[in-house]
Chain A
Amino acid sequence: MTEFWNAMSVLLSPDGIVFAVIGFLIGCIGGALVGIGGALTTALVIPFTLSMTPEHAMIILVAVYSGVSYAGSIPSILINVPGGPSSAASTLDGYPMARKGEAATAISISATASAMGAILGGIAFILAVPFLAYVANLFGSQEFLMFGVFGLASIIAASGTGILKGFMAGILGALLACVGASLLDANPRFTFGIGELYDGIDLAAAMIGVFAFAEMVRLSQNPSSIAGMLIGRGSIWRGIVMTLKEWKGILRGAGIGMWVGLIPGEGGTVATFMSYVTEKQMSKEPEKFGQGHPGGIAGPEAANNSVIAGALVPTLTFGIPGSVSTALLLTALTLHGLRPGPSILTQDVVVLYTIIGSILVGGVLTMAVGLALSRPLSLLTIIPVPVLVPLVCVLSVIGIYASAFNYSHIFVALGAGVLGYAFVRFDYPIVAFLLGFIVGPLAEENFMRSYQLTGGRPYLIFERPLSALLLVLSILILLRPLYRAWKEYRQRKNAAAAG
């Protein structure tokens, strides 16, 4: 409990609160700008956090995550264009409500439900920590290796772009992470005689390249602003009252969000749509869904924000990120010298509680700052793209340099940008690539340890029950899309035979 109060003293200190507010505001700006989104915003903030203490860095990054999760719904509601995929469900009832002249009411529902979802998720996470510590201690190097495989399998299966593509992206990521001095004997691997590659491919540079550069090139094709006009009015108070009336939906949404967040690769989009469908089915007036029903905003928004806590469980406990944003948080933890996994539950407990506390603070900020700034934030949707692109590009370039004071990292980021753009264009899952890149070195370490422990007979890994179970689960998860495709094929065949 001492660690919990130590974390709270850091979090609730003037510095902690200032960092949380700054992070939340940055997240709101990134979330409200269509095309920027959570991943890019987090990637851009990471270099600034490197000179901070790990606790302050986590406060600012979790606050960014909270801000993005909330503000993504602002363009969804105002202009029917989601700030990110996880905010897409909010367009279904948020935009019709805005068209009825109730935009402020819809934003207020979104903020209140988001805050409640984040707070419920944070509380559930605090309660789960002792149990997670017990589970994580059951894991040895073999189990970690297999959990890495399980995480990658989950993300590949959930990516929806095909198993082969997912595998290729993940393996390529892990292979590129091998570049530089070997973990085993410090001899250089795959450097091709380039001295700058001896330290490996810089994680921060790769992240910013994949997200920022690729996204800016893609966004630059649009000559105008993200939104041409704004629709606003309604009542913030009315929205709060309407949200409180939907308390059952918020509880359901928060539960769905936490559960879905636990599964690597699923994330906010799945959670919000699951919550929307559940609310529609359980509502006494399902016919009003799609026409501006508050339940259609409250449930999904609660789910979208409780996902944060759920997704952080596998990220922190096992080092397996559930989404791109959590992959970036994992990157930040690694850059700060912290090692996600069971050790964070025993050795870095203050950082862990700071992260959980930041989720709760993010919930409070969503309610207080988010509601107050909903109108100014909506103005961000009218920034012209030709203004946005050079500003983000220059920020990214200086940010990469600031992360390690090494100019060659900027050229690494340019290369990563080309790869990121190609991945988007050819529909390869970037999350699988990132997971491979981040988890690759950890997996190699655990693999080599297991290899040595089993005397060069790696199949003995599966004599351990938990490892075998994780392998079976990984295979089942990978077979799921194939089974679905086979089922669809059978249905089509039956329909053709009947018709």
Chain B
Amino acid sequence: MEKLEHPLWIVQLVNALLGPLVHRVGEALGYHFTGHDVIPPFMVMVLLIVVFITALCLFVRARLSVEDPGKLQVLVEDGVRAVMGLLDEWIGPKGHQFLPLIATLGLFILLGNYMGLIPGLMSPTASINVTLGCAITTWVYYHIQGIRAQGLVGYIKHFWAPPGAPWFIGFLYFPIEIISHTSRVMSLSLRLFGNMFGHELVVLVLFSIIPFLVPVPMMFLGVVIGALQAFIFMLLSIIYLQGAVAVEHHVDEHGHEAPDGHHAPAAA
């Protein structure tokens, strides 16, 4: 498979510009580089996305206007409003504080997925390093938010037993919860990585068989998968956050739960 990959010019450019500096810093920190590229391709692509998003945001902010919003401004506002609606639907009005991380993750993954469709670039999300980074960020973030919302003791208690259950159920419940929470990192990262890498592989195989028009349906599938996976990553992050910051439900004497909002299905 390595033989089918040709070096990308932008990777070579960035390596020629920044490679010696990164090499020297890495050597000083005691890290020894192997291979010919000091900066791996996925890192270059991530930097490209960062530059693009920053430029886009600065551009939109520069021509921000209430009376006469441009097309780009309307587009960006709609995107932000869609994520806000998602947060409202799952977490409630206090979910707006999570907008920065969730929307950034969504935008980053969406751009990362779509990058693979542009000739001369590749999907950084087809590398396990990037998806694992996103997943660990989400994981750490929702635990921190859970501890902030419920306090350390309250948060650990919510691992021990579900509300309304007797306390000794925890001996059964606690190990399952621990496994379920640790497997979330794997499930988030492997889902995105498997989808994007599998898509690249399929396109690559079709290109090596018939390099004309036949890979196009697969590339169209890549457009659908890219948007869907970005949305799903965002949605699962929101659901994990909702599970972490949810305050205990009030159960009245008839055993009915108080109508205090939305109840999420359990998600692995």
Report if A and B associate in a common complex: no
